[in-house]
A and B are shown apart, each in its own frame.
Chain A
């Protein structure tokens, strides 16, 4: 079935974004695959939690939709945790911070960009240091062929 990207809203690309971040060698070296869109249950390990921040249509002609995400990059609750959090944030930015078009079966990501990276914050619940990276994706529905 052919999908017209001008009239079809793309599938939320959050899953693909998580996969891309998780599979990046730089991120994997620090977080060891602990990248998810949910709160985690184990603590004191580096991990990335991706949050959906909403989306809007760029134009009705092109069908491009702009998605915003936040990535909370945690360092373990240790003396060097803030450094790990920064390294992890840098790795996330390296993975998807400035990437061009790529096509998947269900979604086409035209561009992903880093909007901002914040300072090191301390989680009020667990006292673990983390850095927030804001990401933006320009996405069209699957049939980019």
Chain B
């Protein structure tokens, strides 16, 4: 009986695809939560860095969200990857200086703390979105 489920699952390619897509949107929802927190955490002077924080999700190398950050700049291509990968980042040149600091400016981490803030809730966020996508 244990193998029956596997066989059925593999045969049902359409459902597998739907499930993968649902999971991708689940991870994307988690990415959006991290992005929201990062935008809340970041130090703001002009707002350029905050507006540049974005989330990109890949499913088998294909981006499932295309678009721009809030500055109107296209989100960078993080490269082709397999499975599901989510990136939350910034495309300003000085994002790393803010996150990790420089010689005369202390670090003001905003991305990693945002990730830590939601790590404990990751399962619940992903599960909720997967159920929504599958209509469960």
Query: Which A residues have a C-beta under 8 Å from some C-beta of B?
Result: 39-40, 43, 49, 51-57, 66, 68, 70, 72, 118, 121, 123-126, 128, 132, 134
Contact = CB atoms under 8 A, between A and B. Distances in A.
A72 B116 contact: no
Interface of B: 94, 96-97, 99-107, 109, 112-113, 115-117, 119-120
Nearest to A56: B116
A72 B119 contact: no
Given A56-B119, A57-B120, A68-B116, A121 B107 contact: no
A123 B119 CA distance: 31
Main secondary structure of the interface of A (DSSP, over half): strand
B100 A72 contact: yes
Contact of B101 (A43, A51, A54, A56): A51
Contact of B107 (A57, A66, A70): A70
Nearest to B113: A54
Contact of A66 (B104, B106, B109, B116): B116
B123 to A, nearest CB: 11
B109 A54 contact: yes
A15 B109 CA distance: 19
A125 B96 CA distance: 14
Contacts of B102: 123-125
B126 to A, nearest CB: 16
Contacts of B112: 53-54, 68, 70, 134
A53 B109 contact: yes
